[in-house]
């Protein structure tokens, strides 16, 4: 027995929890909804009524613009057409009363013919006490008394059909009209529109032939309108039901009749506009929707409904279908009111968008020319890059050839320079051997002999390494080094050549190391070129004046290395073309040394120049950016 009771208790406990959870959700939802604007719309007829879609969409659009998602729209369709007048089932409306009893409504919107009396008879006090926007036809001008105001908080949008003006405006546009044919269905709305049409048609009797087609089937209507007399006009007041009780929407009936008719067709509202009706001065349900939405927002925002007034001009407009105007050959008529909208115009691209098309064509042509030019420029650039690559290879070869030429000139001096450390090594080794034989070699003497051998060997090795580096071709990675070390190494290489030419080299030491970034070997080549040019310039100079002075000057993040000679200087005719390739005033050489030197310095983002000195000779100098090194 206990085994059966425990599961039962568990089930009851779970059910209670679920009910509490759902109740919490419901209360939460009601609390959330209560913060929103709750609007109830009653439509008189069924949801399939075309005008209702236009009105509902227009109202919703206005509310969206004002409140975003902070409103809730409740819609109900009373379907009054299904019941005889005054016999709407009370129990059906009770469902609406019960449904909205617990929802705090902020506004009621009533839309449709004879809807207000039904709501007044069956709606609850809660609904009847709401502010109201009422949309219905005001037929008081034709002897009908239709109630369209629900309470004293009602904004009444009483739509008055101005049939007389609609017909008058069309007759101004079609002055040759001699016969008017009114087409009317047998539905409730059709009968009302037919009655109003007869009232207005009576004013035209004697001026033209007036004919009414009523209580006939759609098939009969279509047969009649196919063979109307010339200069006829068809007015489709309302045709929602034919004599066989077949329902039609005004859109559909307008489309069928306009397609069959040999005369222009007009309607009182925009429900047939765009599917065959000519247009004119008619009631616009799109405008009515906008007015209803704006009135609703005003009420919800606190405006007194009594202060809101609606005029005929607010919901009427001039509009014409360009296709129908063209069919009648009056698309350019001056009789069309200036304020009219002319819609559905067929676009002739050349006429309508002539300037735009011309602009696009010009743009395409210019773009094509640009593409061709870019293609050619790209091809020329590729050729240029190819030539540049070939020139780069040639340039490197020239640099190497120039180095080889310098080395050929220095060969004798280098052999002499190498001979000195090699001879010293030989003498030191022989001396050590003699001391070893005599047995008089003590450790101190041996150490001194070995140290001399090592130093002389390093000197010879340094000379060989420098020469080998100068002989290599190709680019090296940029490195940071002390420019003074480069000067000293280059002076060491050139030392023998200087001795042979009886030239003294004076190097001014700088107080602090000066660091630059670049290719050490290429900068050595520049210095060798400058030394060689200085020696050539001093070929006929007295021996005591054959001096090459080298000094460094720093200024604002740069260093200037100057090579001064006391030779003949730079001639006036050579001054402007001194650094150009294959230009030389010497019988020997290719004339590319200074040109290559300039290229090397420019590759190091520096400058090179030459100037004559007042006391004779010339100074060649190049400037490079310095780099700060910690320590």
> What is the CATH classification number for the domain harbouring 488?
3.30.565.10
The reported pLDDT for the residue numbered 6 is 44
The reported pLDDT for the residue numbered 4 is 43
Residue that is last in its domain, among 109, 134, 159: 159
The reported pLDDT for the residue numbered 268 is 92
The string of pLDDT tens digits covering residues 193-238 is 899 899 989 988 888 999 999 999 999 999 999 999 999 999 999 9
> In the structure encoding, which two tokens stand for residue 493, read together?
């290489």
Same-domain check for residues 113 and 148:
yes
Q: Which residue has the higher pLDDT, 308 or 442?
A: 308
> In the structure encoding, which two tokens stand for residue 590, read together?
């290719």
Compute CA distances 554 → 476, 510, 564, whole Å: 26, 9, 17
The reported pLDDT for the residue numbered 630 is 64
The reported pLDDT for the residue numbered 462 is 64
Same-domain check for residues 154 and 172:
no
Any domain includes 185: yes
What is the C-alpha to C-alpha distance for residues 157 and 111, in angstroms, rounded to an integer? 10
pLDDT over 50 (residue 169):
yes
Return the closest-CA partner of residue 284 out of 213, 340, 347, 346.
340
pLDDT over 70 (residue 585):
no
Place of tokens 């640009």: 370
140-149, 222-231, 586-595: range with lowest mean pLDDT = 586-595
Same-domain check for residues 152 and 258:
no
Q: What is the DSSP letter of 483?
A: H
> In the structure encoding, which two tokens stand for residue 376, read together?
């050619």
The reported pLDDT for the residue numbered 521 is 80
Any domain includes 8: no
Q: How confident is the model at residue 1 (pLDDT cuts 50, 70, 90)?
A: very low
Q: How confident is the model at residue 573 (pLDDT cuts 50, 70, 90)?
A: confident
Q: How confident is the model at residue 596 (pLDDT cuts 50, 70, 90)?
A: confident
Domains in the chain, number: 4
Same-domain check for residues 416 and 457:
yes
Strand partners for 282: 317
Same-domain check for residues 67 and 208:
no
pLDDT over 60 (residue 88):
yes
Q: By the 8 A CB rule, do 274 and 343 touch?
A: yes
pLDDT over 80 (residue 26):
no
Same-domain check for residues 483 and 561:
yes
Same-domain check for residues 525 and 591:
yes
Coil, strand or helix at 620: strand
> In the structure encoding, which two tokens stand for residue 482, read together?
């002390």
Residue that is last in its domain, among 116, 142, 159: 159
Residues 267-299 as b/e (b if ≥16 CB within 10 A, e otherwise) read bbbbbbbbbbbbbbbbbbbebbbbbbbbbbbbb
pLDDT over 60 (residue 190):
yes
Same-domain check for residues 575 and 617:
yes
Any domain includes 619: yes
CATH label of the domain that carries residue 119? 3.40.50
The string of pLDDT tens digits covering residues 365-419 is 999 999 999 989 998 888 888 887 877 777 677 666 666 665 665 565 556 556 6
Return the closest-CA partner of residue 289 out of 150, 135, 140.
135
Same-domain check for residues 525 and 590:
yes
26-35, 56-65, 169-178, 439-448: range with lowest mean pLDDT = 26-35
Same-domain check for residues 81 and 113:
yes
Q: Which helix (H) or strand (E) holds 68?
A: none
Q: Which helix (H) or strand (E) holds 296?
A: helix 285-300
> In the structure encoding, which two tokens stand for residue 130, read together?
């709401």
What is the C-alpha to C-alpha distance for residues 311 and 291, in angstroms, rounded to an integer? 10
The string of pLDDT tens digits covering residues 257-282 is 999 999 999 999 998 899 999 999 99
What is the average pLDDT across 610-620?
Answer: 90
Q: By the 8 A CB rule, do 284 and 270 touch?
A: yes
Residue 569: phi, psi to the nearest 5? 80, -175
Largest CA distance in the chain: 163
CATH label of the domain that carries residue 251? 3.40.50.2300
The reported pLDDT for the residue numbered 34 is 42
The string of pLDDT tens digits covering residues 518-549 is 988 888 888 988 998 898 889 888 888 899 99
The string of pLDDT tens digits covering residues 444-488 is 777 877 877 887 677 677 666 656 665 555 556 788 999 998 898
Any domain includes 217: yes
Any domain includes 458: yes
Q: What is the DSSP letter of 377?
A: H
Containing structural domain, residue 394: 377-474
Q: How confident is the model at residue 9 (pLDDT cuts 50, 70, 90)?
A: very low
pLDDT over 50 (residue 22):
no
Query: Pairing between strand 279-283 and 316-321?
Result: antiparallel
Same-domain check for residues 103 and 131:
yes
The reported pLDDT for the residue numbered 450 is 80
What is the average pLDDT across 596-618?
Answer: 89
User: Could you tell me if residue 200 is left (phi over 0), alpha (psi between -120 and 50 degrees) or otherwise beta?
Assistant: alpha
Q: By the 8 A CB rule, do 282 and 250 touch?
A: no
Place of tokens 């008879």: 121
Q: Which helix (H) or strand (E) holds 411?
A: helix 354-438
What is the C-alpha to C-alpha distance for residues 317 and 326, in angstroms, rounded to an integer? 21
| DSSP state letters, 14-53 | HHHHHHHHHHHHHHHHHHHHHTSEEEEEEESS-TT-HHHH
Residue that is last in its domain, among 136, 159, 182: 159
Any domain includes 310: no
Any domain includes 517: yes
What mean pLDDT, rounded, does the chain reach?
Answer: 84
CATH label of the domain that carries residue 430? 1.10.287.130
What is the average pLDDT across 285-289?
Answer: 95
Any domain includes 290: no
Q: By the 8 A CB rule, do 141 and 160 touch?
A: yes
Residue 28: phi, psi to the nearest 5? -60, -40
The reported pLDDT for the residue numbered 395 is 66
The reported pLDDT for the residue numbered 25 is 41
Same-domain check for residues 439 and 562:
no
């Amino acid at each position: 027995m206990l085994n059966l009771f425990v599961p039962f208790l568990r089930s009851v406990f779970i059910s209670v929890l679920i009910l509490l959870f759902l109740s919490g959700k419901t209360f939460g939802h009601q609390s959330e909804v209560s913060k929103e604007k709750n609007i109830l719309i009653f439509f008189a007829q069924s949801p399939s009524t075309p005008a209702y879609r236009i009105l509902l969409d227009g109202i919703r659009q206005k509310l969206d613009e004002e409140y975003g998602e902070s409103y809730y729209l409740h819609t109900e369709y009373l379907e009054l057409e299904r019941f005889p007048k005054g016999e709407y089932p009370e129990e059906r409306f009770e469902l609406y009363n019960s449904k909205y009893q617990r929802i705090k409504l902020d506004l009621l919107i009533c839309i449709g013919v004879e809807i207000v009396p039904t709501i007044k008879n069956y709606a609850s006090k809660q609904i009847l006490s709401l502010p109201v926007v009422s949309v219905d036809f005001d037929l008081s001008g034709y002897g009908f008394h239709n109630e369209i105001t629900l309470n004293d908080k009602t904004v009444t949008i009483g739509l008055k059909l101005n049939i007389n003006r609609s017909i008058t405006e069309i007759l101004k546009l079609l002055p040759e009209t001699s016969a008017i044919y009114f087409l009317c269905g047998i539905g409730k709305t059709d009968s009302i529109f037919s009655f109003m049409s007869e009232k207005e048609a009576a004013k035209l009797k004697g001026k033209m032939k007036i004919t009414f087609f009523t209580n006939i089937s759609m098939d009969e209507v279509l047969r009649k309108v196919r063979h109307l007399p010339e200069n006829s006009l068809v007015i489709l007041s309302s045709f929602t039901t034919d004599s066989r009780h077949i329902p039609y929407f005004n859109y559909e009936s307008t489309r069928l009749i306009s397609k069959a008719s040999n005369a222009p067709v007009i309607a009182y509202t925009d429900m047939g506009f765009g599917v065959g009706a000519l247009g004119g001065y008619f009631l616009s349900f799109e405008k009515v929707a906008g007015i209803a939405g704006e009135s609703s927002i005003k009420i919800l925002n606190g405006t007194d409904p009594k202060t809101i007034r609606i005029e005929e001009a607010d919901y009427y407009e001039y509009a014409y279908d360009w296709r129908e105007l063209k069919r009648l050959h009056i698309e350019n008529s001056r009789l069309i009111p200036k304020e009219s909208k002319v819609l559905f115009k067929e676009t002739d691209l050349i006429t309508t968008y002539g300037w735009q098309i011309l602009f696009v064509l010009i743009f395409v042509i210019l773009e094509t020319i640009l593409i061709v030019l870019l293609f050619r420029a790209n091809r020329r650039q590729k050729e240029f890059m190819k030539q540049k690559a070939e020139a780069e290879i040639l340039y490197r070869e020239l640099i190497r050839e120039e180095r080889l030429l310098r080395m050929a000139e220095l060969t004798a001096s280098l052999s002499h320079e190498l001979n000195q450390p090699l001879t010293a090594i030989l003498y030191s080794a022989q001396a050590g051997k003699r001391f070893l034989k005599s047995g008089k070699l003590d450790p101190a003497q041996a150490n001194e002999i070995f140290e001399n051998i090592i130093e002389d060997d390093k000197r010879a090795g340094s000379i060989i390494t420098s020469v080998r580096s100068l002989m290599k071709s190709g680019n090296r990675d940029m490195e940071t080094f002390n420019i003074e070390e480069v000067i000293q190494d280059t002076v060491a290489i050139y030392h023998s050549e200087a001795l042979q030419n009886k030239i003294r080299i004076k190097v001014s030491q700088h107080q602090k190391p000066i660091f630059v970034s670049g290719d050490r070997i290429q900068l050595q080549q520049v210095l060798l070129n400058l030394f060689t040019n200085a020696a050539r310039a001093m070929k006929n100079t007295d021996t005591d004046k054959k001096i090459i002075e080298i000094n460094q000057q720093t200024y604002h993040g740069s260093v200037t290395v100057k090579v001064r000679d006391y030779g003949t200087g730079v001639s006036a005719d050579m001054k402007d073309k001194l650094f150009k390739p294959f230009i030389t005033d010497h019988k020997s050489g290719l004339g590319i040394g200074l040109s290559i030197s300039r290229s090397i310095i420019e590759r190091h983002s520096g400058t090179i120049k030459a100037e004559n000195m007042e006391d004779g000779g010339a100074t060649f100098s190049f400037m490079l950016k310095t780099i700060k090194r910690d320590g």
